[in-house]
A and B are shown apart, each in its own frame.
Chain A
Amino acid sequence: MESFKQNDGNRDELIIQQQREIEKEISDTTPLVSEQLPLTCLWTEYNGDDIFTAKIQDLSTKYKFIRRTRPDGNCFFRAFAYSYLEYLISNSSAYQEFRKLAEESKDKLVQLGFPSFTLEDFHETFMEVIKRVSPDNPGGQSKVQSELHKIFNEQGYSDYVVVYLRLITSGKLQEEADFYQNFIEGDFTIEEFRHQEVEPMYKESDHIHIIALCTALGAGVRVEYLDRGEGGTVKAHDFPEGTEPRIYLIYRPGHYDILYPN
C-alpha cells in the first residue's frame, strides 16, 4: 500500500513534468499568433486523408488565408481578440464604438461583483492595447496592423487581453444566468462553471463561451468546423445566430485559428 502511494506521488510529479515539457515544446515552436499563411498549408497536415482533403478544398473556395494561434487553451479568446481588433483597425466608427463599450465594461463588471482591484489592472492593459491599435494612429493602417501583431506576440499583453475577455465572458454568464444555465451540462451551477471553466487561464472554450462573449461585445463570429463529419463540406455556425460575422475562425477539434475570407 505504502509503496503504491509512494509511486503515486512520483507519478504525479512525472505527469506534471511531462505536461510542462509539452507546454514548453509548444511555446518554443508555435508563436502566440502566427503570420498570415496560405490556407493550403493545411494540406500538409492531413496529407493523404480524403475526408480532410475534400473539406480543405471546400474551405479554400471561401477563404484565402489562415493565421494560427498557439494551442494553449486560450486560442479562442486570443483568436477572437486578434481578429476583431484587426477588423476594427479598418473600420473607424466600429472602433470608436467598441472603445467606448470597452471603457465602460469595467464599471459593469464591478457592479456584477468582480473584484475591482484585480479587474482594474486587466482593464487598464486592455484599454492600452485598444488605444495602441487605433485606426487614427499615425503611420496608417499597415503600421497599426504590425503593432497589433507585435502586441499579441508579447505574452504579457496578449495574456492580459485573454484574461479580460474571460472576465467579460464570465460577467455575461452571470448577468444572464437563467438563460445560460440551460447550456450547462451536469450538476454545475453557473457560478461554479464561471469560476472553473471560464475565468481560469488555459481552460478551453465551448459554444457557451463563444455565445456569451459575442453577445457581450456585439461582435459576430463565424466558425467553420473542420472535422471528420460526413458531407465533404465544412459546416459554418454564426454566433450570435443571424448576426453578420466580423470574425472568422476555423475550429478543428480542440483548437481555433483565424480565417481570412476571399
Chain B
Amino acid sequence: MLKLFKKPKDKIPKSEIITEPKEPKTPPVSKCGKPLQLDNSRWEASIHPSRRLHKELMSLIKEPPPGSYRGHRKRTAKLIRVSTDYGAEWKINIKGFEGTLYEGEDFQLLFKFNNKYPFDSPEVTFIGSNIPVHPHVYSNGHICLSILTEDWSPALSVQSVCLSIASMLSSCREKKRPPDNTLYVKTCNKNPKKTKWWYHGAYS
C-alpha cells in the first residue's frame, strides 16, 4: 500500500500556489458565425459537478494543500499553478520535494473530469517534457495509483490526488520505470482508466 500523506522527515517545504488568471476570452465562434453554446446537458448526471469543481478550484487557490487530511497544518506538497477555465480539464504543476530524488524537478499533471465527477474519478496523467522516472509512472504519463480507479471515493479531491502523487514520488528510493513499461506504452489505451490495473504492493 502506498502510504498516503507521508510527512517528509526534516524540512517541510512551503507550498505555494499561483493561479494564472485566464484572460477573458471572446466566446468561441463557429464557422457560421454564431457563438457556440456551452453544452450543459453533459452535467445532468450529477447535480453539482461544475459547482464542486468550482469549489475545488477556489479552495486550491485560497488554501494550498495541507500535509494531510487529518488536519495537519504542515504542508508537504508544492502545488504551483492551476491554469484552467472551470471546464473539464485542469493542468496542475507540481514540484519535486526537497530532500527527495525529484528535488528541483517540475512536473505537470493533467486532470480530466467527466460528467459524473466526483462520483467517477478524474483521469490523471503526467504530461509535458518531464515525466517522472518512477516505478509506478509509465513513460507515457500513466500513473498506477489505486485511488485513481477502483479506490476512488467522492470524498477525495484534486487536492488529495495531488498529495497522493506527491507522496508517491517522495517515497521513491530508486528512479526507474515500471518493469513492463515498453510493452504497456505500446499497447495501452490513451485513457489510463481503461487499463485494468494490477496494483503492486509496497512502493519502494
Secondary structure type dominating chain A contacts: helix
Q: A16-B196, A115-B69, A115-B160 are in contact. Are A160 and B153 (CB under 8 A)?
A: no
Q: Which chain A residues lie closer than 8 Å to B154 at the CB level? A: 118, 122, 163, 201
Check: B33 CB closer than 8 A to any chain A CB.
Answer: no
A250 to chain B, nearest CB (A): 26
B55 to chain A, nearest CB (A): 7
In angstroms, Cα B118 to Cα A113, docked, is: 20
Q: Which of B52, B152, B186 contacts A200 (CB 8 A)?
A: B152
Instruction: Determine whether the beta carbon of B151 is less than 8 Å from that of A118.
Output: no
**Which of A90-98, A149-157, A251-259 participates in binding chain B?**
A149-157
In angstroms, Cα B155 to Cα A258, docked, is: 27
A252 to chain B, nearest CB (A): 25
B44 to chain A, nearest CB (A): 8
B200 to chain A, nearest CB (A): 15
Q: Which chain B residues lie closer than 8 Å to A110 at the CB level? A: 71
* Residues of B149-192 contacting chain A, CB below 8 A: 150-157, 159-160, 183, 186-189
Q: A5-B187, A192-B1 are in contact. Are A118 and B155 (CB under 8 A)?
A: yes
Instruction: Determine whether the beta carbon of B52 is less than 8 Å from that of A195.
Output: no
In angstroms, Cα B151 to Cα A13, docked, is: 19
A51 to chain B, nearest CB (A): 35
CB-defined interface of B5-31 with A at 8 Å, one 1/0 digit per residue?
000000000000000000000000000
Q: Which chain A residues lie closer than 8 Å to B153 at the CB level? A: 163, 166, 195, 199-201
Residues of A in contact, count (CB < 8 Å): 34
In angstroms, Cα B70 to Cα A201, docked, is: 22
* Residues of A118-141 contacting chain B, CB below 8 A: 118-119, 121-122, 125
Q: Nearest chain-A residue to B1 (Cβ)?
A: A192
Check: B130 CB closer than 8 A to any chain A CB.
Answer: no
Q: A6-B187, A13-B189, A118-B156 are in contact. Are A156 and B59 (CB under 8 A)?
A: no
In angstroms, Cα B47 to Cα A166, docked, is: 18
Q: Which chain B residues lie closer than 8 Å to A16 at the CB level? A: 194, 196
Check: A117 CB closer than 8 A to any chain B CB.
Answer: yes
In angstroms, Cα B154 to Cα A200, docked, is: 7
Q: A121-B52, A155-B46 are in contact. Are A12 and B196 (CB under 8 A)?
A: yes
Instruction: Determine whether the beta carbon of B155 is less than 8 Å from that of A167.
Output: yes
Q: Which chain A residues lie closer than 8 Å to B100 at the CB level? A: none
Q: Which of B45, B46, B59 contacts A117 (CB 8 A)?
A: B59
Check: A114 CB closer than 8 A to any chain B CB.
Answer: yes
Check: B119 CB closer than 8 A to any chain A CB.
Answer: yes
Instruction: Determine whether the beta carbon of B155 is less than 8 Å from that of A160.
Output: no
A74 to chain B, nearest CB (A): 10
A31 to chain B, nearest CB (A): 15
B159 to chain A, nearest CB (A): 7
Check: B204 CB closer than 8 A to any chain A CB.
Answer: no
Check: A45 CB closer than 8 A to any chain B CB.
Answer: no
Count chain B CB atoms within 10 A of each CB in A118, A154, A201 and give the residue with the most.
Answer: A118
Instruction: Determine whether the beta carbon of A163 is less than 8 Å from that of B155.
Output: yes
A164 to chain B, nearest CB (A): 9
Q: Which chain B residues lie closer than 8 Å to A154 at the CB level? A: 47
Count chain A CB atoms within 10 A of each CB in B55, B153, B159, B186 and give the residue with the most.
Answer: B153
Residue ranges of A at the interface with B (Cβ–Cβ < 8 Å): 2, 5-6, 8-9, 12-13, 15-16, 110, 113-115, 117-119, 121-122, 125, 154-157, 159-160, 163, 166-167, 192, 195-196, 199-201
Q: Sorted from nearest, which 3 A-B pairs have the closest CB atoms? A: A156-B47, A199-B153, A9-B187
Can you list 14 pairs linking A and B with CB atoms under 8 Å apart? A5-B183, A9-B187, A9-B195, A16-B196, A115-B157, A115-B160, A117-B159, A118-B118, A118-B155, A155-B46, A156-B45, A156-B46, A159-B119, A163-B154
